[in-house]
Structure 1
């Protein structure tokens, strides 16, 4: 099975499985089903978002001891990124690192071990993680899927991601008074009003030049309904992506409301909690031993700035971590995964799953 990882990964990368291409999403699910044709699959669809849940023959319910979680969707890329190539021990391509490499390994490790381990093992393949995971992983959980422990193969370079920031998406809207651009004193410019407000927010949540474990605010986009140069805009909106540390979970929104007061309207679009799984849990202890046994390194914990579908399991009271192979460049034009590391990743997961017998 281990020798099949690279060929399968290349097949997965070729498929442009972005959310705006439903036919390609169908194709990648078709490939996964072909690979796992000997196993029972439950199919889920919510708001046109499809996902799969595989289980071993002995598993008669949706209650698992371990679930391997992988997302098959990727963000859009340039055409050449969907033509995988190998160079200097690296496989390049969109999704190689995030996270089709881990998906390929999880598919094949499940295929090898599902009917050999003496406990319920699940494989969860979703297609909407890059847009929030609400209709894939979360929907399955809402339909009764539970597990004692989940591993999501998000990029971690063999580190164990047991902590992650929460996510808030906000839309702020300022309003003014329209008028002719030649007579601005007769109007009230909503864009300038927004700029002043964003400046106040930036003073509290500044940009950082290096990695820090602090709450960050990204100004994702600004919009106005104005379509011409010679008109004063009377409306402006700004979208903020906020990644907050667990310590800030109760004060981020209240602080922003304090800054905004009655100067603008605030709309909460998404509020996903932070993630934490105790590093001394029996599953993590066994995972650390498996990493040390295969890779010969002392496993490290990592606090993840980005979100993952593990948060949906945490909300349901299930423990979990992100743990993925070695690579670089998720969501960039230069994305790759280390090919030797893929072999080790397979061996680590195999050692972990067999140790639970």
Structure 2
């Protein structure tokens, strides 16, 4: 692999503001990577909810794949300057550099080099909606019959193997009160205050984490009201909640939307109603599976300690986990994910490429890490 050529292609991809609200740029990012893979492969295109995705392989008829390389090409919003990639020493700064466009290009490079000669079916799965839930990309493809035995997701990990991720609840709180003149609050029922008390109840049970902890966390993402007058008691208010939970939280793990709604209702003040949009389970892959050990060994052979990791964020592996398919996260290094100084550590790109090649050439045949 020519590292400089790959990083030049990466800068072209990183310059595309492929956020959920820019469908043309989602298509442009997808087409860039498909062009990078090149001709000679079957390209299946999908679209759901306005989000395009693709599956690349070498078969006339889609088989059950032995291994699927999964990558997302969408990013979270950022200031315009973050879509002007810049290099500073061994860092390449841009939105999506760490999460996860560079890993995606490495996966595409390895796929185009090896897929035609491997003795098993390999697929490259490219999606553009992971940052907004993954249901129109990976999940949609699974619902259309795409399936495999083992999945490598190129999210950032600095060549460590992620076998566990938290589950996720996407929910809201809706408060209904009674409007009144702000000078006469006793004549009204302030929906915002009821909502704040409910949030306080919830955060008393799930305190805001001040350090890394493997427990349930609740992120209060937004509080809003349609009220537009300073001298009016708000009659309506709403909050957004992002809840992440480990398998040990039996109040959430394995529960239905209705059961999670009932659990959240126990924290609600009168007049406040929880609305649960999605409940996604934690993700787990068997650490003793031969492919997991082989991937770990491939990273070890590149000089990386290749330990196991647990991720607090959800990834598309949860959709495979529901179907009994082991999926792991394995990607490049960097820092600043979703932040103003996101970057990829370019010293991890070539080792990641070599480790992926080593793994795919013999996914089960080498002893585990010493």
Shorter-chain TM range is over 0.9
**1:112-168 Cα shifts (integer Å, max 9, x gaps):** 000121100000000111100101000000011111110111111211110000010
Residue aligning to 1:46: 48
**1:159-198 Cα shifts (integer Å, max 9, x gaps):** 1110000010111111111111111111111111111111
Do 2:161 and 2:308's aligned partners in 1 also have CA atoms closer than 8 Å?
yes
SS of the residue corresponding to residue 32 of structure 1 reads helix
- Structure 2: where are the runs of 5+ without partners? 254-259, 366-370
Cα distance in structure 2, aligned partners of 1:329 and 1:215:
23
State which drifts further: 267-276 or 252-261: 252-261
Q: CA deviation at 1:7?
A: 1.7
- Structure 1: where are the runs of 5+ without partners? none
Asked if 1:14 corresponds to 2:36, the answer is no
SS of the residue corresponding to residue 259 of structure 1 reads coil
SS of the residue corresponding to residue 246 of structure 1 reads coil
Residue aligning to 1:289: 297
Q: CA deviation at 1:255?
A: 3.7
**Alignment partner of 2:334 out of 321, 327, 335:** 327
Once superposed, which parts of structure 1, at least 4 consecutive aligned residues long, lie more than 6 Å away?
none
Cα distance in structure 2, aligned partners of 1:62 and 1:48:
26
Cα distance in structure 2, aligned partners of 1:78 and 1:290:
37
Do 1:160 and 1:323's aligned partners in 2 also have CA atoms closer than 8 Å?
yes
Q: CA deviation at 1:251?
A: 4.0
The count of aligned residue pairs is 355
Question: Please, what is the CA RMSD of the aligned residues?
Answer: 1.5
Do 2:40 and 2:58's aligned partners in 1 also have CA atoms closer than 8 Å?
no
Cα distance in structure 2, aligned partners of 1:100 and 1:256:
36
Do 1:249 and 1:273's aligned partners in 2 also have CA atoms closer than 8 Å?
no
Cα distance in structure 1, aligned partners of 2:361 and 2:140:
29
**1:264-317 Cα shifts (integer Å, max 9, x gaps):** 2111111111100110011101101111111x2332111100011111111121
Residue aligning to 1:166: 167
Report 1:191-230 matches (<5 A): 191-230=192-231
Pair 1:249–1:137, CA change in 2 (3 A): farther
Cα distance in structure 1, aligned partners of 2:251 and 2:143:
25
Pair 1:249–1:158, CA change in 2 (3 A): farther
Do 1:141 and 1:316's aligned partners in 2 also have CA atoms closer than 8 Å?
no
Do 2:265 and 2:273's aligned partners in 1 also have CA atoms closer than 8 Å?
no
**Alignment partner of 2:324 out of 305, 314, 317:** 317
Report 1:151-300 matches (<5 A): 151-251=152-252, 253=260, 254-260=262-268, 262-294=270-302, 296-300=303-307
Q: CA deviation at 1:248?
A: 1.1
